[in-house]
């Protein structure tokens, strides 16, 4: 055994953790090496000196202050989080519940679709007859678009799209209600579609506002709005606005994904694999969405979405996984916060 | 400090999960010196140590439902405290003031002794300076191993490190201290 090898084992020797064969080898070396014996004596003295540092005791009133702080009313998120934890944990209960919720929504949508002829006609896919046409403007005398009157506004982007398209409608609500004849032209067909604009709108809004399906990347979600837009885009030449609006929505979806994150930072950990698994669990626990995960030589970059309500608690838990350093702090906290976490060792 | 038995810990954990206020009081009273001690040795400032130690207990209080109970309560608290200390040390503001003055002042007070007082205080100051000069990671391992008396496995569990890394890091820290303290030995 060399001097280097022997000295590398001094800590384990002092802590009595050396396996017997190693212990024998070190002892044999020490018998022959005076320098290592002296070094071991100095090493033992160092450890003894460090261990002689007395314990630090908390101040006399420390426990009292901590207990009082714990009794302070918690922020809203904490009770809600505990309630959510009670509802959603353990995992074997949570997953079937979520799956059942998704199925319930799907069944509800299918039921509405089957029992609403207007919806079925509206979603019938027709090839575009005109490649490029200017949008049909709303008539000045048309009342406020039905979509605007009836819609709850859960998502600003989708709502803006619908409002723009609803504004192009030239069929007043009262007139559409009185239509009872079979459509004889494309204009009449579209009027028929809007005979029950409240129903069509309510169904479309319900579809848009329903509990979302399991998280998917933004690009995959893009096709869904096409159906909604068709439902709400009656009128002459509406196929062109449909195509334009769909493309616009897709461009906006792509732009949103390409936009810089709201918050980005670096999480320095001891084990990247362990931290990544814990981070994914954290995302699920806070009902976030994992958007992307890329690995390179320096680390793993994980992009996720978390609701504003869960943001603070998520960051607090993130700090328990390792050293969390914010590179790009949030200038504002939107409803869904996009966070990029760079995990490195 | 007396180590509670495993059964005592399980009972306390069950009470904590039920949200019994007395259980949390018992947790704080039982572990306050451990938690404060680590924070104080890491941060060097009594005020900061109290802040971090209090935060560690509050975090534990809020997240007890997620603690599986497969480790000791003390290990769990050490884990939370260690993370908070490292995060605090890593903050931009903290980097400007690496060492708290409270620690050295308290050392000078603690070591007050009529016989050989000056030399003893000088040794104590040099020792604490040497520990404070270690990198955060090395200092943490030394504090947990040599000041708090944790085994390698407990440290590994608290810090989320392999045992080999703990062993290696502790050895490097001790070798560094050995060089810094050569004149005292």
| Probe site for chain B from A62, A76, A82, A315 (most B CB atoms < 10 A) | A62
The pLDDT value recorded for residue A209 is 46
Structure tokens at A95: 């997953």
The minimal CB distance from B181 to the residues A49, A59, A320 is found for A49
Q: How far apart are CA B56 and CA A57, in angstroms?
A: 16
Q: Evaluate if residue B172 carries a pLDDT over 90.
A: yes
Instruction: Look at B152 and A212; give whichever has higher pLDDT.
Output: B152
Verify whether the Cβ–Cβ distance A49 to B160 is below 8 Å. Answer: no
Structure tokens at A261: 């994150």
The label of the residue with tokens 């993370």 reads B83
Residues of A in contact with B142 (CB under 8 A): 50
Q: Evaluate if residue A318 carries a pLDDT over 80.
A: yes
| Probe site for chain A from B51, B57, B133 (most A CB atoms < 10 A) | B57
Residues of B in contact with A274 (CB under 8 A): 160
Q: Which helix H or strand E contains A264, and what residues bound it?
A: strand A263-268
Verify whether the Cβ–Cβ distance A320 to B86 is below 8 Å. Answer: no
The pLDDT value recorded for residue A90 is 66
Q: Which residue of A has its CA nearest to B30?
A: A63
Verify whether the Cβ–Cβ distance B170 to A319 is below 8 Å. Answer: no
Q: Is this prediction's pTM over 0.95? A: no
Say if A11 is an interface residue toward chain B (CB within 8 Å): yes
Structure tokens at A161: 């799209």
At residue A170, the 3 state secondary structure works out as coil
Q: pLDDT of A83-112, one tens digit each?
A: 666 665 566 767 777 788 888 888 888 888
Structure tokens at B170: 């502790």
The pLDDT value recorded for residue A224 is 44
The pLDDT value recorded for residue A270 is 82
Say if A4 is an interface residue toward chain B (CB within 8 Å): no
Whether A232 contacts A249, CB under 8 Å: no
Q: What single DSSP character describes residue A235? A: S
Q: How far apart are CA A13 and CA A26, in angstroms?
A: 9
The pLDDT value recorded for residue A113 is 80
The pLDDT value recorded for residue A176 is 43
Distance from CA of B7 to the nearest CA of A (A): 24
Instruction: Look at A198 and A272; give whichever has higher pLDDT.
Output: A272
Instruction: Look at B3 and A45; give whichever has higher pLDDT.
Output: A45
Say if A72 is an interface residue toward chain B (CB within 8 Å): no
Q: pLDDT of B91-128, one tens digit each?
A: 755 555 555 556 666 655 555 455 557 777 778 888 88
Q: Is A199 exposed, middle or buried (0-12, 13-18, 19+ CB in 10 A)?
A: middle
The pLDDT value recorded for residue B39 is 96
Distance from CA of B132 to the nearest CA of A (A): 12
The pLDDT value recorded for residue B99 is 52
Q: Which helix H or strand E contains A268, and what residues bound it?
A: strand A263-268
Mean pLDDT, residues A218-230 taken together: 41
Structure tokens at A172: 């007043």
Q: Evaluate if residue A49 carries a pLDDT over 80.
A: yes
Residues of A in contact with B181 (CB under 8 A): 46, 49
Instruction: Look at A292 and A238; give whichever has higher pLDDT.
Output: A292
| Probe site for chain B from A14, A44, A46, A60 (most B CB atoms < 10 A) | A46
The minimal CB distance from B86 to the residues A46, A316, A323 is found for A323
Q: Evaluate if residue B154 carries a pLDDT over 60.
A: yes
Distance from CA of A101 to the nearest CA of B (A): 25
Model confidence at B30, pLDDT cuts 50, 70, 90, reads very high
- HEC letters along A318-341: HCCCCEEEEEECCCCCCCEEEEEE
| Probe site for chain A from B29, B48, B84, B151 (most A CB atoms < 10 A) | B29
Q: Is A280 exposed, middle or buried (0-12, 13-18, 19+ CB in 10 A)?
A: middle
Can you spell out the DSSP letters for chain B? -PPPPHHHHHHHHHHHHTT-HHHHHHHHHHHHHHHHHHHHHHH--HHHHHHHHHHHHHHHHHHGGG--SSS-HHHHHHHHHHHHHHHHHHSHHHHH--S-HHHHHHHHHHT--STTHHHHHHHHHHHHHHHHHS-HHHHHHHIIIIIS---HHHHHHHHT--HHHHHHHHHHHHHHHHHHTGGG-
The minimal CB distance from A324 to the residues B57, B87, B161 is found for B87
The pLDDT value recorded for residue A295 is 85
Instruction: Look at A226 and B167; give whichever has higher pLDDT.
Output: B167
Q: Lowest mean pLDDT: which of A166-175, A252-261, B119-128?
A: A166-175
Residues of A in contact with B49 (CB under 8 A): 56
Which pairing describes strands A336-344 and A289-296: parallel, antiparallel, or unpaired? unpaired
The minimal CB distance from A70 to the residues B61, B167, B177 is found for B61
Q: pLDDT of B49-108, one tens digit each?
A: 999 999 999 999 999 888 888 889 999 999 999 999 999 998 755 555 555 556 666 655
The pLDDT value recorded for residue A104 is 87
Mean pLDDT, residues A198-205 taken together: 48
**Could you report the predicted ipTM of this complex, rounded to two decimals?**
0.88
At residue A145, the 3 state secondary structure works out as coil
Q: Lowest mean pLDDT: which of A10-14, A27-31, A92-96, A218-222?
A: A218-222
Q: Evaluate if residue A122 carries a pLDDT over 90.
A: no
Cα–Cα distances in Å, from A275 out to A171, A339, A341? 57, 16, 11
Nearest Cα to Cα of residue B78 among A234, A154, A320 = A320
Q: Which helix H or strand E contains A163, and what residues bound it?
A: helix A156-167
The label of the residue with tokens 């996009």 reads A338
Residues β-bridged to residue A266: A325, A342
Q: How far apart are CA A275 and CA A37, in angstroms?
A: 42
The pLDDT value recorded for residue A190 is 43
The pLDDT value recorded for residue A111 is 84
Q: Which residue of A has its CA nearest to B52?
A: A66
Distance from CA of A68 to the nearest CA of B (A): 10
The pLDDT value recorded for residue A88 is 59
Question: Could you give the percent of chain A with pLDDT greater than 90?
Answer: 19
Q: Evaluate if residue B129 carries a pLDDT over 50.
A: yes
Q: How many CB pairs under 8 A join A and B?
A: 131
Number of alpha carbons in the 13 Å side-chain half-sphere of residue A206: 16
Question: Could you give the percent of chain A with pLDDT greater than 70?
Answer: 54
Distance from CA of A3 to the nearest CA of B (A): 14
Q: Evaluate if residue A42 carries a pLDDT over 90.
A: yes
Mean pLDDT, residues A145-159 taken together: 44
Whether A321 contacts A344, CB under 8 Å: no
């Amino acid at each position: 055994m060399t001097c280097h090898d022997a000295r590398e084992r001094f800590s384990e020797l002092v802590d009595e953790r050396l396996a017997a064969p190693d212990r024998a080898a070190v002892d044999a070396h020490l018998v022959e090496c005076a320098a290592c014996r002296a070094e071991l004596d100095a090493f033992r003295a160092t450890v003894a000196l460090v261990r002689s540092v007395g314990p630090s005791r908390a101040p006399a009133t420390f426990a009292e202050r901590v207990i009082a702080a714990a009794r302070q009313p918690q922020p809203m998120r904490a009770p809600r989080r505990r309630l959510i934890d009670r509802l959603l944990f353990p995992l074997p209960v949570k997953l079937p519940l979520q799956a059942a919720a998704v199925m319930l929504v799907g069944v509800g949508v299918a039921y509405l679709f089957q029992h609403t002829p207007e919806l079925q006609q509206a979603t019938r896919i027709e090839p575009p007859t005109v490649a490029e046409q200017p949008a049909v403007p709303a008539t000045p005398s048309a009342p406020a678009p039905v979509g605007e009157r009836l819609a709850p506004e859960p998502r600003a982007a989708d709502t803006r799209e619908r409002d723009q398209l609803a504004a192009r409608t030239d069929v007043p609500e009262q007139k559409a209600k009185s239509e009872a004849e079979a459509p004889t032209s494309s204009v009449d067909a579209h009027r028929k579609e809007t005979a029950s604009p409240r129903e069509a709108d309510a169904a479309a809004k319900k579809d848009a506002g329903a509990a979302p399906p399991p998280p998917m990347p933004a690009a995959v979600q893009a096709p869904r709005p096409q159906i909604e837009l068709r439902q709400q885009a009656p009128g002459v030449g509406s196929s062109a606005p449909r195509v334009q609006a769909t493309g616009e929505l897709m461009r906006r979806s792509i732009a949103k994904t390409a936009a810089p994150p709201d918050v980005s930072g670096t999480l320095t950990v001891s084990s990247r694999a362990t931290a990544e698994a814990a981070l994914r669990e954290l995302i699920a626990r806070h009902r976030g969405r994992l958007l992307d995960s890329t690995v390179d030589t320096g680390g793993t970059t994980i992009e996720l979405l978390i609701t504003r309500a869960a943001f603070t608690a998520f960051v607090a838990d993130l700090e328990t996984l390792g050293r969390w350093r914010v590179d790009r702090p949030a200038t504002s906290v939107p409803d869904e916060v996009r966070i990029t976490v760079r995990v490195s060792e | 400090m007396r180590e509670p038995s495993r059964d005592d810990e399980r009972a306390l954990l069950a009470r904590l999960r039920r949200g019994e206020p007395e259980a949390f009081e018992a947790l704080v009273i039982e572990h306050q010196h451990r938690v404060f001690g680590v924070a104080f040795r890491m941060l060097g400032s009594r005020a900061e140590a109290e802040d971090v130690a209090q935060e560690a207990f509050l975090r534990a209080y809020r997240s007890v439902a997620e603690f599986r109970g497969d480790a000791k309560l003390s290990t769990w608290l050490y884990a939370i405290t260690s993370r908070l200390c490292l995060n605090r040390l890593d903050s931009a503001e903290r980097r400007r003031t690496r060492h708290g003055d409270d620690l050295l002042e308290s050392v000078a007070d603690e070591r007050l002794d009529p016989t050989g007082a000056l030399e003893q205080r000088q040794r104590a100051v040099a020792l604490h300076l040497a520990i404070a000069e270690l990198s955060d990671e090395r200092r943490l391992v030394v504090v947990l191993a040599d000041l708090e008396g944790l085994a390698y496995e407990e440290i590994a569990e608290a810090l989320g490190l392999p045992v080999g890394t703990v062993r290696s890091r502790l050895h490097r820290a001790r070798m560094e201290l050995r060089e810094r303290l050569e004149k005292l030995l």
